[in-house]
Amino acid sequence: METPVALLLELGVILAALSILGTLARRFTLSPIPLYLLTGLAIGEGGIAPVPAAGEFVGTGAAIGVILLLLVLGLEFSLAEFAVGMRRHVPSALVDAVLNAAPGAVAGWLLGLDGIGMLALAGATYISSSGIVARLLSDLHRLGNRETPAILSVLVLEDLAMALYLPVLAVLASGGVWWQAILGVLAAVGAVLVAFAVSYRWGHHLGRLLSHPDAEQLLLRVLGLTLIVAALAELVHASAAVGAFLVGLTLTGETAARTRAVLSPLRDLFAAVFFLAIGLSVAPADLLPVLPAALALAAVTVVTKVLAGRYAASRDGVGPRGQWRAGTALVARGEFSLVIVGLVGTMHSRLGPLVTAYVFILAIAGPLLTRLAGALPFRTVPLTDAPGGTPPTNNEGPGR
Amino acid sequence: MDVTEVLLPGVGLRYEFTNHRGDRVGVVARRTGDFELVVYEGPDPDEGRSVLQFNSEEADAVAEILGAPRIAERFADLTKEVPGLVSGQVEVGVGSAFDGRPLGDTRARTRTGASIVAVVRGEEVIASPTPQEVLRGGDILVVIGTHGGITGVEQIIRG
């Protein structure tokens, strides 16, 4: 076997660079995702330091990264937590969906995209990054706060919406006439429901089949099954990512917890490669023309997400400051918007750069805004308008 | 004391209570096994101040430290409730016949009718020890039974 020196060296340098950037981002309690995207831009075609040898690996790694991201998301999902979210926050989820998907759809229409493009952009503006937000709440020590359950409930319901939305989008994006699309959509929704039923009724059997006291065995079995299901899903034009998500949904309890622990480091590595690949797939020159649109969309999203978050928190009886914290916490975008664009990216040349720029802006602005909201001065007398107590969204534009 | 349990979807659970001095206290139990202790004391009633963070190992240690006196207390309560039942402590001497041998070898319950309900080893409390639990010199055995039974266990352990 010949050692591919160029590949090893390039990959090593890239990973080391990601590590340094990630550490920097974490120091300021920011998400490293924008920096990973930037790195991807820098090493892509037309970037400052192209890496021809590592390109192919990054492509393969990105595919695995999406599968791992969605598998772990499916593992996170528990029906009990979903039920708790449902009980209190269905109105919040509806407000969230309507307020945030609409700007994307309208923007898509204004930009002259077709139906699928509008649907994809609506999804990208609708869904917050549960990964970034959960990590952010933990980093800012806000897990004990009163507004946190409302935020997390909204995120869980968004994840559920994604479970139904992603297969639908995948089927529609794969083309076909209207009745094929409807059949495909029904099949996709059916698959999600079947996965739920399987996890509810036979989850423990599947768990027993896959579970093994040895971590290595567990990893091989779960990963093997997931990749097979993902490949089959891709074969019937339902997206590999969706297949992986369904596998994650069906695993529950102890097996899910152990799998999560074993897979998480692997997920983090390949997710980083995925963000890198998204950056790679976009030419820096394509970003400039879409920048105004991305900025405008980001500004609208900040307002609509803050409204949705404030509404959710107010349903839990949280005070004004907590409502601002909740609203701003939901602003962050990340993996999902990029997964969505990955599903339809090849058909819409403008969508990729637009969503990449949009995620870039909000992945930075979201954590910053919610940190600022946490520093809001407390007004002891609610009726007097204290200076500096004005809402943060109007002054702290999203474009920074 | 009322402990409220709040589900944090995807993260874990939060327990909340108000202590005897009126402080509002929260404990965030994360699915990863980490814990966070939070106090609500600022002007904003919704905002908690994170006081301490424990990983699962540290949390276990704290739980044992806080829980140890309560185990003894509960045994004392139990013996008050059941007349004729008393609890006692028997030390396994260094170099005792049972130093390094499993608890089952003492056959204490068969021979005396008294039960060994816990082994206290330094700061560690092994509650409900199995017969396979290997005793060490310096261990304190918490025994529940009649006066005679406890004396019997003492004699067996002393050899």
User: What's the ipTM?
Assistant: 0.75
For residues A258 and A211, the answer to whether their CB atoms sit within 8 Å is: yes
Q: What is the amino acid identity at position B68?
A: A
For residues A6 and A342, the answer to whether their CB atoms sit within 8 Å is: no
> What's the half-sphere exposure (Cβ side, CA atoms, 13 Å) at A242?
30
Say what the pLDDT of residue B71 is: 65
pLDDT at residue B142 greater than cutoff 50: yes
Count contacts between A and B (CB, < 8 Å): 77
Among A300-314, A349-363, B71-85, the minimum mean pLDDT is found in: B71-85
CA A365 to each of CA A125, A244, A308, A370, B153: distance values in angstroms, whole numbers, following the listed order: 14, 30, 17, 9, 69
Q: Is B92 helix (H, G, I), strand (E, B) or coil?
A: coil
Integer Cα distance of A353 and A118 in angstroms: 15
Query: Which residues does chain B have within 8 Å of residue A136's beta carbon, measured at their own beta carbons?
Result: none
Integer Cα distance of A147 and A309 in angstroms: 9
Tens-digit pLDDT profile for residues A3-38: 788 888 888 888 898 899 989 988 888 888 889 988
List Cβ neighbours of B50 (8 Å cut-off, separation of 6 or more).
A141, A144, B36, B37, B38
Tens-digit pLDDT profile for residues A109-147: 998 888 889 999 999 999 998 888 988 998 899 999 999
Q: What is the amino acid identity at position A332?
A: A
Integer Cα distance of A241 and B142 in angstroms: 56
Integer Cα distance of A283 and A260 in angstroms: 35
Name the band, by pLDDT with cuts 50, 70 and 90, for residue A46: low
Among A144, A146, A380, the residue with its CB nearest the CB of B36 is: A144
How far away is chain B from the Cα of A319, in angstroms, using its nearest Cα?
7
The mean pLDDT value of chain B amounts to 85
Which of A143, A258, A325 is the mutation pick for testing B, counting most B CBs within 10 A? A143
Name the band, by pLDDT with cuts 50, 70 and 90, for residue B138: confident
A141 and B30 within 8 Å at the Cβ level: the answer is no
pLDDT at residue B115 greater than cutoff 90: no
The mean pLDDT value of chain A amounts to 83
A152 and B46 within 8 Å at the Cβ level: the answer is no
